[in-house]
Amino acid sequence: MARDADKTREKLLLAATAEFAAHGEAGARIDRISERAGVNKRMIYAYFGNKEQLFAAVKEHSLGRLLEAVPITPDDLPGYAGRLFDYLMDHPERHRLALWRTLEPSPPTEAEERSTAEKLRVLSAAREHDEALSPVALLVFIMAIVQAWPSTYGALARPTFADAAAQRATVVEAVRRLTTP
């Protein structure tokens, strides 16, 4: 029974992730999540509470999967950036959630607070010699470079989506330069 409940929870989280990635927090509809997951709407409220709480669960779940797949490697930040880029290519919903969250600010979850604090801690230890870019700045710019190609739009979006392998190489090189004072 517990296993069935876990499966239902996971199915709902995946359907909810797709819905929030497609429509953002304000635009997401519990009805569509219910339909997509094939799970009764009342079950969603029973499992997660209201839409805001469901979105918090989606944030935690999405971050958990990312951290498991791509742990930070402070001694190899260019490699870390390359692996994050691969992850975003395989999980475009993660990138869309990031874009939505900039447009529709919402509080970080506890897991996000912990994860950011931990990344800053290992970066501080590894980057003591870098006086011009703080750990926060480095983290912000690494994330920006990793998301740069999938964030192109307009005239730049055309040539740039041609070749993910070539894009990946530029991400690694850009973070190598960024981390070379």
DSSP secondary structure code for residue 119 in this structure? H
Q: Tell me which of 19, 59, 69, 74 binds a second copy, using CB under 8 A.
A: 59
Give whichever of 128 and 153 is closer to a second copy, judged by the CB atom. Answer: 153
Rounded Cα–Cα distance for residues 28 and 11 (Å): 17
Side-chain-side CA neighbours of residue 94 (13 Å): 20
Shortest Å, Cβ 5 to a second copy: 28
Token reading at 144? 């920006």
Q: Select from 152, 28, 14, 168 the least CA-distant residue to 88.
A: 168
| Beta carbon nearer to a second copy, 49 or 107 | 107
Rule CB under 8 A: choose which of 40, 144, 163, 164 binds a second copy.
144
- Within 77-116, the residues that bind a second copy by CB under 8 A are 96, 98-103, 105, 108-109, 112-113, 115-116
124 near a second copy (CB under 8 A): no
- The gap between the terminal CA atoms of the chain, to the nearest Å, is 56
Q: Does residue 180 touch a second copy according to CB under 8 A?
A: yes
What is the secondary structure of 12-34 as a DSSP string?
HHHHHHHHHHHHHHHH--HHHHH
Kindly list the residues in this chain that would bind a second copy in the complex (CB under 8 A): 27, 59, 96, 98-103, 105, 108-109, 112-113, 115-117, 132-134, 136-137, 139-141, 143-145, 147-160, 167, 170, 173-174, 177-178, 180-181
